Amino acid sequence: MFMNTGFFEPGKTKTERKFIQQAVKQSQRLDGRKSGESRDVQLTFGGEYGSVVVSLGDTKVMAQVTCDMGTPTTSRPNEGKLQLYVTLAGVSYLDSVQKTHDKRSLTLNSLLERTFRTSRCVDLESLCVASELHVWCIRVDVNVLNHDGNLYDASTVAVLAALMHFRRPDVTFTDGELRTYTEKERDMIPLLFLHYPVSVTYCIYTSNFQPFVDPTLLEENTADSTIILSFNSYQELCTLNAGGTVPTDVRTIMQCARSAANRCKAMVTFIRKALDQDEQQCLEGSKRNTGMLGLMEKSSQKLSFKTLMKGDQKQQQHKTEDMDLEVEAKPNPKLEADEEENADNVENVESDQPAQEEELPMDDSGWLPQEPEPTIDPTKQSPGKPKRKRNKGNKKKQ
Amino acid sequence: MNLPDKSEQVAKDKLREMQCKFNPLSRCDGSVMYCQGATVVISAVLGPVEVKTQNLSIDGSYLECNYRPKAGLPQVKERIREAAVRDVLELALLSEAYPRSKMSLQIQELEDRGSIDACALNSACLAMLIGGLPLKCSFAAVHCIINEQGEYILDPDQRETEHERASFTFAFDSLEGNLLLVQTKGSFKIAEFNDVESLCRSASAEILQFYRTSISNYHCRRSDTKTSEEQMET
């Protein structure tokens, strides 16, 4: 055991950078994934409400939601509070390499705040018990257990799953008296959501302008640019965080956004399915005892993205110059060569051959659902496209 | 809080079922996910690594010990647990082996369903064993309560902990069964204390045996997979 081995993160050395740049040039990844392929996501719900552990490959993140009665802020007297805390300190040993207020911790905190608080995903007005006097303060603690790349996605999935899993006690406020009911007296109430956001991360390298989704730690540290997109289940953009040193074509970002929108929608469906299964197991009575024991291998079947989304009929396609297809349904290998869309698919509308990709118009019409053909209309602006936050507003027309 | 209904009845003088999974975390020297009954704890060790000048000691390594709760910032009761773990570890760790360095131990609570102190200590010991840190001896911790009827309940569930009159946490070492840690709460007679201590001492033997079997399983399984891989290649 050497003195500083724990502080070494893969991807900080020149040799590793060179290696990854060359591998990326040939569209190769160390773990054999394609550039558009993500790692499997596994959810394990705990015994308490609002407790979940997310495994994205080796990256493990735990989220816990707690609630407390508090007083509202004076500027918003009839809204509850939602607070998010991410701790990198602890088992993951991420704080020993960094000084306090380091980039990674700040970016993670800021991203989660933007995705969940600023985008108003939880209906805070429903958390109000008595205006100006009593509101629910919801607190989400995210503990990073292991960092193997893509902390952002893992954290957003964890926070969303924990918030959806959470139940708060019922409470009445009559004649100035506040009464909280225990679980035995009255059922616990879930939180109300306005929308369900999840994020997807892409890495871009100088040697190849094609983005790689869901990077491992080695890929993330050697990346030149990172794009983090956060969509909700209605395919509305909630957060966009793009930065780095690679000059990137806006087209690339739009393509990333398209595939990210599909992926996010599938992810929210997966979380819902996993929650339903957890609910069923709880009603059967067998689950509540196991709780976090699900993390042990011997326990019951894990709730993983691949197994739950296997039978899903929706097949998402996305073609760029070299980007491989993102396959949602597992048992369908011929999708690689299939360039026609599924009749069910209404979100994505690509029917061009890959060779003609340069002619794909830069306008927004590709976004709109139920549009059969992308019309080449540079002046057209889609009116009904809600944008929560956009850092890059300019669109280049061809 | 959502407390589970007790579906399996564990005898009052038996420990709950223990399970552990080694090295679930890839970025530290040694880690273990340990559970007793439904209480799950994850521990990680890192060491020997570089230490700050203020903690540098030429006699031995500096031990850093942190316990993190599942929700909220660490409060006073977490610090009490950290102090308990540190006390035991300082007795068990062979700090003279690596002077001017730091051994770091982090414990993260994943689910608390009773006797979390004992679980934290046991997982710390396992993490150090699997991480290869130098120890003088290994140790096992047991938690026992005296409930309102005067019965001794070993390794209680959270439900049983609600009706406690007195609570004890003991830690024993593996070489001679010496007592390393005693933490008590509540009112009890000295005779009861002695009874509980001997009860816990015999239970600790079971825990130490569990350590042995799980570590040997872990290593045997790895050599098994290696041989099977070789067979597949040829």
> CA dist A172 to A71, A123, A138, Å?
16, 19, 18
pLDDT value, residue B92: 92
Closest approach of A49 to chain B, Cα-based (Å)? 7
- Residue A310 banded pLDDT, cuts 50, 70, 90: low
pLDDT value, residue B109: 92
Residues with Cβ within 8 Å of residue A179, at least 6 apart in sequence: A171, A172, A173
Please name the residue ranges forming H helices in chain A: 14-25, 103-112, 151-165, 217-222, 250-284, 287-290, 305-308
Q: Which of A81-95, A118-132, A188-202, A306-320 has the lowest mean pLDDT?
A: A306-320
Report which of B54, B10, B27 is spatially closest to residue B206, judged by C-alpha positions: B10
* B49 vs A: CB within 8 A: yes
Whole-number Å distance between alpha carbons of A212 and A114? 23
- Residue B42 banded pLDDT, cuts 50, 70, 90: very high
Residue B182 clears pLDDT 80, i.e. is over it: yes
Residue A272 clears pLDDT 60, i.e. is over it: yes
* B101 vs A: CB within 8 A: yes
Residue A217 clears pLDDT 50, i.e. is over it: yes
Size of interface A-B (CB pairs under 8 A): 134
Using an 8 Å CB-CB cutoff, list chain B residues near A291: 4, 38, 40, 111, 113
* A244 vs B: CB within 8 A: no
Q: Which of A6-20, A258-272, B39-53 has the lowest mean pLDDT?
A: A6-20
Residue in B closest to A287 by C-alpha? B4
pLDDT value, residue A320: 33
Whole-number Å distance between alpha carbons of A90 and B78? 13
Q: What is the ipTM of this complex?
A: 0.85
Please name the residue ranges forming H helices in A211-286: 217-222, 250-284
**β pairing state of A189-190 and A51-56:** unpaired
Q: How many C-alpha atoms does B218 have within 13 Å on its Cβ side?
A: 19
The string of pLDDT tens digits covering residues B186-223 is 999 999 999 999 999 999 999 999 999 999 999 886 55
* A1 vs B: CB within 8 A: yes
Cβ distance of A60 and B19 shorter than 8 Å: no
Closest approach of B219 to chain A, Cα-based (Å)? 17
First-to-last alpha carbon distance for chain A, in angstroms, is 57
The string of pLDDT tens digits covering residues A39-54 is 989 888 888 889 999 9
Q: Name the residue facing B72 among A60, A62, A66 (closest C-beta).
A: A66
The string of pLDDT tens digits covering residues A60-98 is 999 999 999 988 988 988 899 999 999 888 888 876 655
Closest approach of B186 to chain A, Cα-based (Å)? 27
**β pairing state of B102-111 and B62-68:** parallel
pLDDT value, residue B179: 93
One-character DSSP codes across A200-220: EEEEE-SS--S-EES--HHHH
Residue A317 clears pLDDT 60, i.e. is over it: no
Cβ distance of B110 and A295 shorter than 8 Å: yes
The predicted model scores a pTM of 0.80
Report which of B204, B223, B224, B216 is spatially closest to residue B18, judged by C-alpha positions: B204
- The pLDDT of A92-112, averaged and rounded, is 75
**Higher-confidence position of B207 and A291:** B207
pLDDT value, residue A191: 92
* B95 vs A: CB within 8 A: no
Whole-number Å distance between alpha carbons of B82 and B68? 9
Closest approach of B27 to chain A, Cα-based (Å)? 7
Whole-number Å distance between alpha carbons of A380 and A267? 31
Whole-number Å distance between alpha carbons of A295 and B108? 14
- Token pair, residue A245, equals 């040193």
Q: Taking a C-beta distance cutoff of 8 angstroms, is the pair A314, A275 a contact?
A: no
Interface test with chain B among A292, A297, A300, by most B beta carbons within 10 Å: A292
Residue A316 clears pLDDT 50, i.e. is over it: no
pLDDT value, residue A9: 78
pLDDT value, residue A280: 86
pLDDT value, residue A328: 33
* A165 vs B: CB within 8 A: no
- The pLDDT of A144-149, averaged and rounded, is 90
Whole-number Å distance between alpha carbons of A203 and A30? 14
Using an 8 Å CB-CB cutoff, list chain B residues near A46: 110-111
Domain positions in chain B are 18-222
Q: Which residues of B183-197 are buried (b: 16+ CB within 10 A; e: fewer)?
A: beeeebeeebeeebb
Q: Which residues of A64-78 are buried (b: 16+ CB within 10 A; e: fewer)?
A: bbbbeeeebeeeeee
Using an 8 Å CB-CB cutoff, list chain A residues near B72: 66, 139, 141
pLDDT value, residue A296: 61
Average confidence score pLDDT of chain A: 75
* A96 vs B: CB within 8 A: yes
CATH of domain A42-287: 3.30.230.70
Whole-number Å distance between alpha carbons of A55 and A49? 19
Residue A194 clears pLDDT 60, i.e. is over it: yes
Residue B36 clears pLDDT 60, i.e. is over it: yes
Decide: helix, strand or coil at residue B57: coil
Residue A113 clears pLDDT 80, i.e. is over it: yes
Using an 8 Å CB-CB cutoff, list chain A residues near B104: 6, 93, 96
Cβ distance of B70 and A183 shorter than 8 Å: no
Using an 8 Å CB-CB cutoff, list chain A residues near B40: 291-293, 295
* A98 vs B: CB within 8 A: no
Cβ distance of A292 and B66 shorter than 8 Å: no
Residues with Cβ within 8 Å of residue A120, at least 6 apart in sequence: A194
Closest approach of B190 to chain A, Cα-based (Å)? 36
The CATH architecture that domain B18-222 belongs to is 2-Layer Sandwich (3.30)
The string of pLDDT tens digits covering residues B65-121 is 999 998 888 899 899 999 999 999 999 999 999 999 999 999 999 988 888 999 999
Instruction: Give the distance, in angstroms, between the CA of residue A93 and the centroid of all CA atoms in the same chain.
Output: 23
pLDDT value, residue B98: 92
- Token pair, residue A381, equals 């602006």
Please name the residue ranges forming H helices in chain B: 76-92, 116-131, 158-161, 190-233
- Token pair, residue A370, equals 């139920």
pLDDT value, residue B60: 92
* B18 vs A: CB within 8 A: no
Residue A341 clears pLDDT 60, i.e. is over it: no
* A291 vs B: CB within 8 A: yes
- Residue A365 banded pLDDT, cuts 50, 70, 90: very low
Report which of A140, A154, A7 is spatially closest to residue A67, judged by C-alpha positions: A140
The string of pLDDT tens digits covering residues B114-164 is 889 999 999 999 999 999 999 999 999 999 999 888 889 998 888 888 888
pLDDT value, residue A297: 52
Q: Which residue has the tokens 């100006």?
A: A132
- Residue A290 banded pLDDT, cuts 50, 70, 90: low
Using an 8 Å CB-CB cutoff, list chain A residues near B35: 292-293, 296
Interface test with chain B among A87, A91, A220, by most B beta carbons within 10 Å: A91
Using an 8 Å CB-CB cutoff, list chain A residues near B66: 89-90
Closest approach of B106 to chain A, Cα-based (Å)? 5
Residue in A closest to B2 by C-alpha? A48
